[in-house]
Amino acid sequence: MCKAVADLRRSDGLALEIGCGSGAVTLVLASLGWDVLACDVNPFAVAATRGNLEEHGLQENVEVVEAGINDGLEIPDNTTLIVWNLPYLEPEVTKGRLDSIEEVSFTDIKGGGWSELLMELLTRDNDAMNDDCLVLLLFRTDPKSPSSPFSWKRSGWSARSVASLRLGGERLQVFALWEPGQGIGPRELERCDSTMDEAVSIGGDGWQRVFAHEQARGRGRRGSEWKSRRGDVSATWSLSPEVAGKFSPGLLQTSIGAIVSNALGAEVKWPNDIMSDDIRKMGGILVESSGSENIRVGVGVNGRDFEEEGINASGWSNTLGEMSGVEVFRTIDASISTHFEDTGWLPMPTVDELLDISWRGISRQLSRGASIKLGDTNLRPVGISTSGGLEALGRESSRIVDDLDGLEWLF
């Protein structure tokens, strides 16, 4: 956690540390220039933190109080950063071995864990947090604990892993969590011709996106028609010039395809198709730029299966169950934001990271024996190029496939 705090691009404002223990993280926050409110339900921890602050001359601009979640803690006004090394031992493991104070400090609780109680508190006290507030939580992700970053993802929060460590049989991960848009909501339309066209007018600073409940004239690659129904997801994101200048449109397309398919519990077929596990199309990704420095990323996803005009399509109801289009949009929005929203806190992704995301995405189908045929030549995909092309090996040579003309997928 100390490393995650030190690696943040910002160190200004009010930080709240929950469960400060002996004060190690509080000391790091104070040394970096934060104003800090530290709390713990254990009075001995409160005394230890105060003593360690005084010993190192860091007590100025730091307040340490005896409090905790559901135990008198209120989120202070203008909170910018919230930090918590979550308790992660299972109740069955610690039962009868710890006294009551130790149990609260080390033991998670059933259901959604302490992390969901924090999320509920932040929802209630939302006005106390700055719009750009960041939450840093340390989870035990292997073996799984009741507290999980997936609870936050399901609730529409962006969740990026920023530090990871394996200790024996356990993996600990620090996740940075924030609300997509940092106070900027999507432009929500009842009906429009195309969200891609609507997004032309929303370029600018911040996390900009358009969502339509009904889209009349959606389009796919090369101007093809994209059929959608009311209740499907039809949305477009306008990514900043920094993103547009750093990554090729092809790599954005393949990486966002992988990100969205993962959020839907689906698969991605290079370069931009979101597929069900029975090889039916569920959705697609379209990347365009014209007349501005921003780049537009359109996402269309079917809610339910349908057959029409020779098209046999799948929907997210097969993977996510009965979720509304708004709920699925929020899930997708958080997933894309996790990687591409510049919050001012975290570094933006690198080309290598997007290559890895893209390759891991298409590898799910390849692991089940999928291959490609270009003309009369059978090829084996082995990677993704920086332009988003498919690197493939034949019997006598390798090549980069960057166009669908003549390409056939073999399943």
DSSP H or E segment with residue 219: strand 218-219
Fold of 187-358: BirA Bifunctional Protein; domain 2 (3.30.930)
Cα torsion at 11, 16, 19, 22 (round to 10°)? 50
pLDDT tens across the length of the chain (411 residues): 999 999 999 999 999 999 999 999 999 999 999 999 999 999 999 999 999 999 999 999 999 999 999 899 999 999 999 999 999 877 655 455 555 555 556 688 888 999 999 999 998 877 888 999 999 999 999 999 999 999 999 999 999 999 999 999 999 999 999 999 998 899 999 999 999 999 988 867 889 999 999 999 888 776 677 878 899 999 999 998 888 889 999 999 999 999 999 999 999 999 999 999 999 999 999 999 876 678 999 999 999 999 887 789 999 999 999 999 999 999 999 999 999 999 999 999 999 999 999 999 999 989 888 889 999 899 999 999 999 999 999 988 899 999 888 899 998
| Domain span(s) for CATH 3.40.50.150 in the chain | 2-178
Asked if CATH classification 2.30.30 holds for the domain at 365-410, the reply, yes or no, is yes
CA-based max dimension of the chain: 75
Q: What is the pTM of this model?
A: 0.92
Considering the domain 2-178 in this protein, what is its CATH number? 3.40.50.150
Which structure tokens are listed for 33? 């220039």
| Domain span(s) for CATH 2.30.30 in the chain | 365-410
| Domain span(s) for CATH 3.30.930.10 in the chain | 187-358
Q: Which sign, positive or negative, has the C-alpha torsion 25, 27, 32, 38? A: positive
Distance separating alpha carbons of residues 59 and 30, to the nearest angstrom: 8
Of 176, 173, 179, 144, nearest to 160 (Cα)? 176
Decide the pairing of beta strands 187-189 and 233-239.
unpaired
Distance separating alpha carbons of residues 76 and 84, to the nearest angstrom: 15
